[in-house]
């Protein structure tokens, strides 16, 4: 069975390590915050200017001055801090944030990512995505393996305008966990009940498949 | 030095057609809403606005767009605004999209006397087109130039008569850097207090960066994405 969005978030949450500062993008990445493994402590950074982002506020307790990068009302945890946008991106560019999780329209086998622009469609802008992918040491992409037309998003080369080059290290989709190294995708895990053949057939880029591919443990 | 002016009209005095304005805020959070309303009243045209976002159709910078007062937007993300989209697609509005961190740093650099800097953000993308590339520590970076403005308009939580500012929570965002980068910086605050009232240890923007300050009459503080959880 292919994973749903929650399943992808749960699998990515297993990558979190104690003491990490983490930036979560909009969409599936945001869900990762709900599945922090027991016994570890991580802090979430949102690039509009908060470290120590907490859950959504209770109804009636929303503060218009306290939002995340998706412009959603949030809360601040004990020990949180606020700062301006230049300092926020100093944290990101200066590699003080250990993990960035974000969505993508396409990823290529050399780690390029495209997630901000579709030619011919309304361009909304890259926001902080280019700064995040150019700077983070550890970037995990959370996305579906194929687009709505059924075409693979795991490619030899991206076809859409790039957000960053050679930056993605790992991709988690509803079907598989893939690592990117030496210019190829490497199949690390498959979703429970998903066959290696299905993953191969839905992956356009070069894929290295080991003899044994374990199922994800969720 | 007393920086206090009596109202938004006095604060915005001197802003003319064709000028470049920086406008603080992220989404609708921390925007100088009283000043934006006054700009609409003034009807100043052909403005270049440097602001992370472009507001929504009927609030924030969206109000200036509706009144067709903006010639060019310099932003990082401009979704959530139909009128913006219409003007952009019809060619009425010029748009320069900049990575958010580069936008923040370009404003900071403009205020800090640093004409340009290298950043890895945007290397290998269309943002890098026409920009100098240099390798530092084995990694390619692109040259980005500083931004300044004829007027910077920022919003703070508290301010004093000397122009010292304190922001609240994530309403700080671009306001401190833009305050630094305006030739004339206007601060609108929720609460204006006499000098000596604010703790100097807690000041975010020192008064040297602020030329005019006033207390906003009212703040709607519209929420763009109201997200809550239930108490169960």
Give Rg (Cα) of chain B. 18
Q: Provide the CB-side half-sphere exposure for B120 (13 A, CA).
A: 24
Dump pLDDT digits (tens) for B65-104: 999 999 999 999 998 788 888 898 889 999 999 999 999 9
Least CB–CB distance from B85: residue in A67, A122, A162 = A122
Using the 8-state DSSP alphabet, how is residue B164 labeled? -
Dump pLDDT digits (tens) for A148-203: 999 999 999 999 999 999 999 999 999 999 999 999 999 999 999 999 999 999 99
- Binning pLDDT at 50, 70 and 90, where does residue A136 land? confident
Taking CA atoms, B89 is separated from B6, B41, B55, B99, in Å, by 40, 26, 17, 21
Is A47 assigned a catalytic role? yes
Give Rg (Cα) of chain A. 17
CB contact A188 to B (< 8 Å): no
Note the ipTM here: 0.96
Least CB–CB distance from A86: residue in B108, B204, B222 = B108
Of the residues B91, B121, B137, the best mutation for testing chain A's interface (the one with the most A CB atoms within 10 Å of its CB) is: B121
Query: Which residue do the tokens 């169960």 mark?
Result: B232
Dump pLDDT digits (tens) for A94-114: 999 999 999 999 999 999 999
pLDDT at A1: 85
- Please tell me the distance from the alpha carbon of residue B189 to that of residue B179, in angstroms, as a whole number: 13
Global pTM? 0.97
Dump pLDDT digits (tens) for A77-91: 999 999 999 999 999
Name which of A136, A143, A174 is nearest A158 in CA terms. A143
pLDDT at B13: 98
- Please tell me the distance from the alpha carbon of residue B68 to that of residue B87, in angstroms, as a whole number: 9
CB contact B129 to A (< 8 Å): no
pLDDT at A15: 97
User: Under an 8 A CB cutoff, do A93 and B52 touch?
Assistant: no
Looking at chain B, which residue has its C-alpha nearest residue A64? B223
Which residues contact residue B221 at a Cβ distance below 8 angstroms, ignoring those fewer than 6 apart? A64, A65, B28, B33
């Amino acid at each position: 069975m292919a994973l749903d969005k929650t399943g992808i978030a749960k699998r990515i949450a297993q990558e979190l390590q104690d003491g990490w500062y983490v930036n979560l993008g909009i969409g599936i990445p945001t869900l990762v915050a709900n599945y922090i493994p027991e016994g570890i402590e991580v802090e979430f950074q949102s690039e509009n200017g908060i470290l120590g982002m907490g859950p959504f506020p209770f109804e009636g307790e929303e503060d218009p001055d306290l939002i995340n990068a998706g412009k959603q009302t949030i809360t601040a945890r004990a020990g949180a801090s606020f700062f301006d946008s230049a300092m926020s991106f100093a944290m990101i560019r200066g590699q003080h944030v250990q993990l960035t999780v974000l969505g993508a329209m396409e990823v290529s086998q050399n780690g390029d990512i495209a997630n901000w622009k579709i030619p011919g469609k309304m361009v909304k802008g890259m926001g902080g995505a280019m700064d995040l992918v150019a700077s983070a040491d550890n970037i995990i992409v959370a996305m579906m393996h194929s687009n709505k037309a059924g075409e693979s998003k795991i490619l030899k080369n991206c076809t859409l305008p790039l957000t960053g080059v050679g930056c993605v290290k790992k991709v988690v989709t509803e079907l598989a966990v893939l690592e990117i190294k030496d210019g190829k995708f490497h199949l690390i895990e498959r979703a429970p009940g998903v066959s290696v053949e299905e993953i191969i057939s839905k992956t356009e880029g070069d894929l290295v498949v080991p003899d044994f591919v374990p199922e994800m443990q969720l | 030095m007393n920086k206090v002016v009596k109202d938004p009209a006095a604060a915005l005095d001197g802003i003319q057609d064709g000028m470049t304005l920086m406008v603080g805020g992220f989404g609708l959070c921390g925007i100088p809403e009283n000043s934006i309303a006054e700009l609409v009243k003034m009807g100043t045209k052909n403005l270049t606005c440097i602001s992370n976002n472009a507001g929504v159709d009927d609030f924030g910078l969206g109000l200036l767009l509706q009144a067709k007062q903006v010639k060019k937007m310099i932003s990082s993300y401009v979704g959530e605004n139909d009128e913006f989209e219409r003007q952009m697609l019809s060619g009425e509005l010029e748009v320069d999209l900049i990575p958010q961190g580069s936008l923040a740093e370009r404003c900071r650099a403009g205020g800090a006397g640093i004409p340009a800097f290298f950043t890895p953000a945007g290397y290998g993308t269309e943002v890098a087109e026409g920009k100098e590339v240099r390798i530092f520590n084995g990694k390619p970076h692109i040259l980005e130039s500083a931004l300044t403005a004829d007027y910077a308009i920022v919003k703070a939580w508290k301010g004093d008569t000397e122009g010292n500012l304190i922001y609240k929570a994530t309403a700080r965002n671009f306001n401190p850097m833009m305050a630094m980068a305006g030739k004339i910086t206007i601060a609108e605050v929720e609460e204006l207090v006499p000098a000596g009232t604010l703790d100097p240890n807690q000041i975010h923007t020192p008064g040297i960066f602020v030329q005019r300050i006033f207390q906003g009459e009212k703040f709607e503080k519209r929420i763009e994405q109201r997200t809550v959880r239930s108490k169960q």
